[in-house]
Amino acid sequence: MKLLPPHLRHLLLLLLFAAVLTGCGAALPTPTPVPTPTATPAMQPPEQDSWILVDLPPDATQLQHGAEVYRLVCSACHAHSGEGLTDAWRATWHPEDQNCWQSKCHAANHPPDGFELPIAPAVVGRAALAPFATAKDLHDYIQATMPWQEPNMMTEEEGWAVTAYVIQLNRMNPGELLNAENAAEYRLHPEAAQPTPTPAAAVGADLASADPLRVLGGIALVALAVFLAVRVTRRRRHEK
């Protein structure tokens, strides 16, 4: 038997090798695709449930949040302007709702799901803020006692927001974010921390703040007056 030419032998070997590879590939099981791992989202702390339905954009400021909480929860009793449950404020309501203390409304004989309503005071003015030295004192009172019918029902965020808004109603700036870390340093009556200057101290303060040139000019005039008085006295003595 004649041997095949070298180039044919090489071709035959390549064909046999390709057939072996094809058969092995058909016998191997199809690999199971490995799913691409995805990042597990970080656990977020659960939000406090609130019965106050505030419709605000996510980027609303604390004061905007406080204004809306005040409108929904506080203004019915304390008025939009903070004046309290006055006759003028109740006059803006529907006539049937103006008498809060009529029988079976907010009087002593209210229904089981109602409550007796006191005379709601103003939340603006020196008298309203007099019991509270700092913003923290005001917040703690609001958080613990308001709203009247369901005290301590506001979330922490709502409590700080409405406190900031009440401070703004009193024509003060509560800052960008009022919270437990800075409220104790926010004094509601800053003038009370300043001692009343004594008359001597007041005069000293006036001199310290006066224009130096005016002070020197006054001293020079006094010295000139004394000098002229001495000259006149000596001349009169000399003439005698």
- Give the domain CATH number at 119: 1.10.760.10
Q: How many domains does the chain have?
A: 1
Q: Note whether residue 214 is domain-resident.
A: no
Query: What was the pLDDT predicted at 41?
Result: 39
How does pLDDT run along the chain (240 residues), one tens digit per residue? 455 566 555 555 555 555 544 554 444 445 555 444 444 333 333 355 676 777 889 999 999 999 999 999 999 899 999 999 899 988 998 888 888 878 777 877 878 877 777 778 999 999 999 999 999 999 999 999 999 888 998 999 999 999 999 999 999 999 999 999 999 999 999 877 555 555 554 445 554 555 566 656 666 665 666 556 656 566 666 666
Cβ contact 174:166 at 8 Å = no
Q: Note whether residue 30 is domain-resident.
A: no
Using left for φ > 0, alpha for ψ between -120 and 50, and beta otherwise, residue 84 falls in left
Its domain, for residue 119, covers: 62-193
Q: Note whether residue 120 is domain-resident.
A: yes
For the entire predicted model, the pTM comes to: 0.59
Q: Note whether residue 106 is domain-resident.
A: yes
Q: Note whether residue 4 is domain-resident.
A: no
Q: Note whether residue 114 is domain-resident.
A: yes
Q: Count the Cβ atoms, other than its own, within 10 Å of residue 172.
A: 16
Q: Note whether residue 36 is domain-resident.
A: no
**Could you say which DSSP state residue 187 is in?**
B
Q: Count the Cβ atoms, other than its own, within 10 Å of residue 138.
A: 24
Q: Note whether residue 69 is domain-resident.
A: yes
Cβ contact 94:110 at 8 Å = no
